[in-house]
Structure formats: C-alpha cells, structure tokens
Structure 1
Amino acid sequence: MLERKQLKNRTQVTFVLPADTPEGPVSVVGDFNHWNPAAHPLQPQGNGTRAAQVSLPTHSTHSFRYLAAGDYWFDDPTADHHDGTNNHIHT
C-alpha cells in the first residue's frame, strides 16, 4: 500500500506492507535510491505493518519494486501504473 503526504515542494511516500507477507526482510528499491536494497528497508510498525518512507520531488514519476529475502522481487498492487517490469508512482 502507498500513502502520500504533500509537503512544501516534496511528497512523502510511505511504502506499507503486512508484517509477515512475505516473511523475512523486505526493501523498497527504485530509481530514487539507485535500486539499492540497503537504502530503504521496511521497518516494523506498532500497528502490525512494516513501512519505509521516501521523500520525492512533487510532480514527478518514479519506478520501484519490492525486494524480499531470497532475491524475491514483487509488485505493489496499489501503484499508479505497472509497465510489466516495474511499478510507477506519481507524486
């Protein structure tokens, strides 16, 4: 799930997943972090989810995917667009 919060010239995007689906560590990777899995690991939240926040320029489009343990790549069904390879978010 994607949550957005408009800031002055940025959009704070929170990437949210259930705590145990899939099991193990998960990172959000994309063009905003040079596809680096160490940059934005999802962290456990008090409400039973895990999340990572990224601040992106307003009025921009970014590609991303999730990467879980075992080199398991997966999509976010709430993304603004899917091109067959990546998810896209518009801020």
Structure 2
Amino acid sequence: MSIKKQFIKSKPVCKVTFSIEAKDAINVAVVGDFNNWNVEEGALNKLKNGTFKGVFELPKDASYEFKYVVDGTYVNDAEADSYKWNEFAGTENGVIAV
C-alpha cells in the first residue's frame, strides 16, 4: 500500500495517488469523505504487476477519512497519516491530510 501526494501550485488541490497490491483481487476501490464512500467513484485500475492504482484530486488544507475496498472487504492503509474511530462503521478509518 502506498499514498503519494503531489501539491499543485496553480490550483488549491493535491493530486493523491492511492495504490494497493492485491494480485488475486478482481475489484478494488478507495472510498472516503472525498467521494461520499462511493465504490464506483473510487474504482482503481489494475496494473500488470497486480497492483491497483488511481489518482484523485483532493481539495487542499483538509483531512479525509478513507479505506480501500478489496472485493467487498474494507482495508486500512498502513501508510495513512493517522487513524480515526468512526462510530457509524464501528472501526477505525485511515486519515489522509492534504
């Protein structure tokens, strides 16, 4: 798993690249506050090496809760900036600050 942040000087956004290795997975997405936890909007593309990857533009100066959905199973990213307890989900979500 990895998260890469690229701040854009000309716009108030940060390009965030989410990637997760899931060779045996069929569908992987990243869901969170930034896409209303919508699996379709957060779908990641599978690369030949079995890694799923996607780039999202997130408004700067904010933090977002998120998780990966790997074939229907929610997974936290070990490289999240922090974790936050979520009463609705009954578990911790990863947090990314941009």
Superposed displacement of residue 19, structure 1:
4.5
Q: TM-score, normalised by structure 2?
A: 0.81
Any stretches of 5+ residues in structure 2 without a counterpart? 86-91
2:13 paired with 1:10: yes
Q: In structure 2, what is the Cα distance between the partners aligned to 1:76 and 1:59?
A: 21
Superposed displacement of residue 53, structure 1:
1.1
Per-residue Cα deviation, 1:38-81 (whole angstroms, up to 9, x for no partner): 002110235x2221111011111001001121x21110000000
2:96 paired with 1:89: yes
Q: In structure 2, what is the Cα distance between the partners aligned to 1:51 and 1:62?
A: 18
Q: In structure 1, what is the Cα distance between the partners aligned to 2:28 and 2:18?
A: 11
- Over the matched positions of the two proteins, sequence identity in percent amounts to 28
Q: In structure 2, what is the Cα distance between the partners aligned to 1:19 and 1:42?
A: 11
Q: TM-score, normalised by structure 1?
A: 0.87
Query: Residue 58 of structure 2 corresponds to which residue in structure 1?
Result: 56
- Amino acid in the other structure paired with 2:18: F
Q: In structure 1, what is the Cα distance between the partners aligned to 2:25 and 2:17?
A: 19
Per-residue Cα deviation, 1:4-45 (whole angstroms, up to 9, x for no partner): 11103210001011251x622110000100000000211023
Any stretches of 5+ residues in structure 1 without a counterpart? none
